[in-house]
Amino acid sequence: MFVFVCAGCGAELTAPLSQVALPVHAHQKYGNGTQLPVLMEQGTFAVEPEPWGPPWRKWEEIQPDEAAARGIHAPAYSLSDGAPGAVVIAPGDARGTVLIPEKAGGYCCGLDGADGPNMACEVCGLPVASRIDDCSLWQAVWLAPDAVQRLPADGTDAEVAPLSWAEVMAEGKGTPPFEPVTTWGSVRGSAHWWSWSPRWEAAVGRALAHLLAASQGRPVTVPDGLAREVLQRALDVLLPAGPPVRRAVLAGPGRPAPDADADILLVPSHPQTGNVWAPEGWSAAADLVPLPFGVWLWLAFPEPHLPIPASGAMPDGVLRDDPPAPRPAHLFRADPMAFQRAMVRLPAVRSPWLRKIHENLTQQARARIF
């Protein structure tokens, strides 16, 4: 457990926190006017290793050598010139901070952090964080890496080992593919509808980029069921038809060993470390495509139907008899920003055929795969 303190005066700025992997949807902008929940679970923090936040530079201002040094292999709309290592926490875990009124510009329905840090240390006044709660953005507090310091919560340097995969499987929870999405209040009041989960749209957007890179320009098939529903349509649109086909299968802890002839493995990333699971003795015979653990768990071990809120608890071993949650009215569409963010960071995007897919995103959006 760690606490973050002000680099100026040493005042504590957070509750004790444990580190987890940065969510794939951390920088997602979802819909228009939607009210997204809190990004981080209470008591956790994650680190963005890349520069993030203002100031920003458009792609035309960036030299190719600089982009390559930052691991960017294809044009992006803009790149951050902020400091790397920003720390994101749940707003309720912030302590000893006050808002900076003159830094509240550039928003629609709330704060978006476009003007830089909008929270200051209550003791010394140093700008230390950005509160984000605007519509279509995940609610979070981003601690400025050059304004805070991380210290052990108990005053020691003792590190706790991350959970083993067996412990993750025992304690982890799946991420449901459908959830109610709420709009900000209007003259008619707030409204909500059942939709594909924004978390899934971001996770599949990233996975789709990795699948295309692993496809080698050939058709790819994915397992039947929900995996096919969220991935196959986009793969069929973006990749050519006809043999030879590359086969992607689900693999991971608790699953049977993947077939020797599997070309691509859809595997989980560790919820604490972000490390990608690999089969024992893996030697790159198959390409690994990472999925957030909660999304992978739902694909690998699907629940009979989505649980809905109810009072009390069902006994162990008894299936709920509630009706399943309503399905969305539209086909699944991957998050285009998550897709692009992953794609430009893959060296394979230098290939002409894959570069063409990256450059024609607007046209592909008309096919409603994004």
Rg of the Cα atoms in the chain: 22
pLDDT band at 104 (very low <50, low <70, confident <90, very high): confident
DSSP SS3 for 362: helix
C-alpha span between 108 and 136 (Å, rounded): 10
**Residue 169: both structure tokens together:** 């499987």
CB-neighbour burial class of residue 119 (10 A; exposed 0-12, middle 13-18, buried 19+): buried
352 has a pLDDT exceeding 70: yes
Of all residues in the chain, the percent with pLDDT exceeding 90 is 68
Residues 155, 152: Cα–Cα separation, whole Å: 5
* CA dist., res. 279 & res. 293, Å (int): 16
Alpha-carbon gap, residue 117 to 13, rounded angstroms: 14
Provide φ and ψ at 285, rounded to 5°.
Answer: -65, -30
Neighbours of 180 (CB within 10 A): 11
| Inter-residue contact 293 to 252 (CB < 8 Å) | no
More confident residue, 190 or 11: 11
State pLDDT tens for residues 169-211. Answer: 999 899 999 998 888 765 565 677 889 999 999 999 999 999 9
Which two three-digit tokens encode residue 26?
Answer: 């951390």
Cα separation of 341 and 198, whole Å? 16
DSSP 8-state class, residue 137: B
Model pTM score: 0.90
pLDDT tens figures, 239-291:
998 889 999 999 999 999 888 889 999 999 999 999 999 988 777 778 999 99
Distance, in Å, from the CA atom of 361 to the CA atom of 359, rounded to the nearest integer, reads 6
Hunting for tokens 């995996």 — which residue is that?
227
Average pLDDT over residues 306-327: 62
Reading phi first (left if > 0) and then psi (alpha if -120 to 50, else beta), residue 180 is in beta
- What are the backbone dihedrals phi and psi of residue 264, each rounded to the nearest 5 degrees, phi first? -135, 135
Longest Cα pair distance anywhere in the chain, in angstroms? Answer: 66
Q: Which helix (H) or strand (E) holds 209?
A: helix 198-215
Quick one: which H or E segment has residue 180? Answer: strand 178-183
The CB-side HSE value for 342 (13 A sphere, CA atoms) comes to: 23
